[in-house]
Each structure stands twice: as C-alpha cells, then as structure tokens.
Amino acid sequence: MATVMTKEEITDTEEKSGLRTYLPRIIIGLVLLVGGYFGYQAFRHSQQYETTDNAQIEGNSAPVLARVAGYVQSVSVDDYANVKKGQLLVTIDPQEYDVALAQAEADYQQSLADLENARADLQNAQASARNVAQNLRVAQSNADVQASRRDKAQNDLKRDQNLYREQSLTQKQLEDSRSAADVQTRQYTANVEQISLARTSQGIAQAGIAKAQANIQKIQAVLKVKQAAIDNAKLRVGYARLTAPIDGKIGRKNVVVGQYVQPGQNLFTIVADSTFWVVANFKETQLEKMHLGQLVDIKLDAYPDLDIKGRIASLSEATGARFALLPPDNASGNFVKITQRVPVKIEIQNPEKYRNQLRAGLSVEAEVRVAD
C-alpha cells in the first residue's frame, strides 16, 4: 500500500535537501573569508614589521679570576647571590705573600741604610776636598812669599858680589849671602812641590766625591728596584683578597674552601643585573627598511605576557659568520649561497621595570616596526 506524503512533508524535505546542498559551500566560503582576512592581516603585518626569533637577552658580565696561586682560605658568597662592587668574595691564604712583602721591605730598609752610608762618604769626600783646597791655597801663598824671599836673596847676592869685587866686602860675608840665596831657592822649590802635591790630592778628593756620588746613584737605582718589589709584593697580598669588580649576581661557584687555585683560574662569573639589551640576528633580506631608533616589540619565551618595548641601538658592521672561529671561505669554488644574518643591538626601554624577569641568555622574539 503506497504512502502518500502531505504538502508540508514535501516542503520540509525540499528544504533539508537544499540545506545539505549549500551548507558545505557556505562553510567553505566562511573558511576562505576568515583565511583571507587573516592572510591579509599577516601580509599587512609583514609589510610593517620585520620579525626574528633568533634573538637573546645579553648583559654585561665579569669573570672573577684568581690572580695568585694558593689555597682558598674562605668563600664569602653563595651560588646566585647578589653582590656589590668591592665586596669581598674569596680569600686565598696570604701567608706566603705576607712573608715575601716583609722580605722586600727589609731589603729596602737595608738599601736605605746603605744610602745613608754613601751620603756620609760623600760628605767626608767633600770635606776632604775642601781641606785639600785650603792646603793648596796655603801652599800657593807660601810659595808666593818664598818667591819674594828668593828674589831678595838673589839680589843681595848680586850686590855682595859687586861689593866683594870692589873689596868692600869680606869673603865670609859673600859666602853667607850665597848660602842664604841657595836656602831661599830650595825652600821655594819645596813650596812648589807642595803645590803640586796639593793639586794631586785635590784630584784624588774630586775622584772620591765622584765615586761617592756614583755609589749614591747606584743605591738609589737599587732602591727603585726594591720599591718596585715592595709594590709587587703588596699587589700579590692584595690579590689574595678577591672582590667583586661590578654590581650584579654571581653564577654557580667553582671554588670551595681548601681548594688550590692557579693564576687565571675562573672561580665564577658576575652578571650585571642593571644593564640588559637584546641582540637579534636578522636575515640580510630584512635590513632594507631597518635603521637606528626604530621601535621594537620584544617577547620573552619565558614570560610571554610581558609587553617589553625597545629601540634599535646599532647594526653590526659584519654578518655573524664573520665572527665565527672559522669564517667560511667562498673562494674555494664550492659556493652555496646561504642567507646571512646580521646582529642588531636593541636597547630595552625602562629595563629596571623588568629587572626581576630579565636574564642574560633568555630567548626572545623581536618585531621591528619598519613602517607606520
């Protein structure tokens, strides 16, 4: 027996058939519309922003290195502790360096004593030179006087010889005059020899002064060397006390009490907690519209909800490959073109606001607004 459908049932069936026919088209249209909208937004975004996720937070850091060898006497900080510049961190046993300093100071004092003795020798040499000069003046004066007496005795002898020829003088008187002239001549010769001896003594005295002065200069040079040894010993004593070179937070310690350390050994690193910036490596094809001062949106992978702003501070003068340990050499003939990346430094605005979140080495996504 055939079933007869009513008019209402036929209409309902036609509507459902039409809905099944057009519903997929409507859905596809909506999907295309939404996809087109988001595609357009992505296109606009790509025209206004240059983006990279090859970026990290950077910060100043200072390694704390042992500058002298020795056993660690004390460690005054814990892992990841905040420290202030000049704060004592590690003490290396300074006993060996204290002894070296005491020895250097003792050597310096001995050289000071030698310098005082040399100055005394110089004063003695100068006094001797003054005495010799005085003796020379006296000998010269005596020679001048004796020269006058010699001349007088010779004149008297000539007069007496004339008188003797005229028989106005006896033989004995002539001989007395001749003897007096001879004595005065010999005394004058002796005075001249005294002058020569005084001049020789004066040369010896001047040589003694020069020797004493040279000895003083030598000791003064030795004093400079020993003062340098004292300064070096003081430095080494100071190096036994390691202090923080900057304000910041230390990393993991690599030193414990009783450990023997060598000069240059890295004990830990201090990261400055007040200055951070971003280094983002952009592709070379992204640099065309980038310049200093452009605004940058920064997203931290660790804190995705933070809205951090920055500005481009500088662009590297070379690609990152140029700073590699073994830069690629394209002259070998096996050339494969690879898009290079250029480091861009980005200053963080109001970094103190994010002081508790910023960490050197955190991964970052940077978006540079290249068009308004």
Q: Class for domain 95-240, per CATH?
A: mainly alpha
Instruction: Read off the amino acid at residue 248.
Output: G
Q: Where are the domains of the chain?
A: 50-85+250-327+334-369, 95-240
pLDDT of residue 2: 45
DSSP string, 264-280: T-EEEEEEEEEEEEEEE
**pLDDT of 267-297, one tens digit each?**
989 988 778 899 999 998 888 888 899 999 9
What pLDDT was estimated at residue 17? Answer: 62
C-alpha span between 343 and 324 (Å, rounded):
13
Cα–Cα distance, 224 to 146 (Å, whole number): 55
Reply yes or no on whether the pLDDT at 18 is more than 60.
no
| 350 torsion bin: left (phi>0), alpha (psi -120 to 50), beta (else) | left
pLDDT at 7 over 50: yes
| Separation between Cα atoms, residue 308 and residue 192, nearest integer Å | 104
Amino acid at 221: A
C-alpha 357/C-alpha 261 separation (Å) is 34
Q: Partners of 82 in the beta sheet?
A: 249
Contact 345, 325 (CB under 8 A): no
Instruction: Answer yes or no: pTM beyond 0.85.
Output: no
Distance spanning both ends of the chain, measured CA to CA: 76
**Taking 80 as the threshold, does the pLDDT of residue 324 lie above it?**
no
On whether the CB atoms of residues 96 and 70 are closer than 8 A, the answer is yes
Quote the CA–CA distance of 197 and 148 in Å, as a whole number: 21
3-state DSSP assignment of residue 363: strand
Residue 244 predicted with pLDDT over 50: yes
C-alpha triplet 365, 366, 367: angle, nearest 5°: 125
50-85+250-327+334-369 has CATH 2.40.30.170 classification: yes
Q: Please tell me the predicted confidence (pLDDT) of residue 372.
A: 64
Separation between Cα atoms, residue 147 and residue 82, nearest integer Å? 96
**Interhelix angle 171-239/95-165, nearest 10 degrees:** 170
Q: How confident is the model at residue 127 (pLDDT cuts 50, 70, 90)?
A: confident
- Average pLDDT value for the chain: 84
* For range 332-337, the mean pLDDT: 67
What span, in angstroms and rounded, lies between the C-alpha atoms of 148 and 144? 6
CB atoms within 10 A of CB 245: 15
As a whole number of angstroms, the distance between CA 8 and CA 40 comes to: 46
DSSP codes, 181-234? HHHHHHHHHHHHHHHHHHHHHHHHHHHHHHHHHHHHHHHHHHHHHHHHHHHHHH
Could you give phi then psi for residue 318, rounded to 5 degrees?
A: -145, 160
Confidence of residue 238 (pLDDT cuts 50, 70, 90): very high
Is the pLDDT at 301 greater than 80? The verdict is yes
* Tokens, residue 132: 């010799």
DSSP string, 56-86: EEEEEEEEEE--S-EEEEEE---TT-EE-TT
Which residue in this structure is represented by tokens 């420290």? 83
CA distance 323 to 346: 19
Give me the torsion for CA of 264, 325, 59, 357, rounded to 10°. Answer: -120
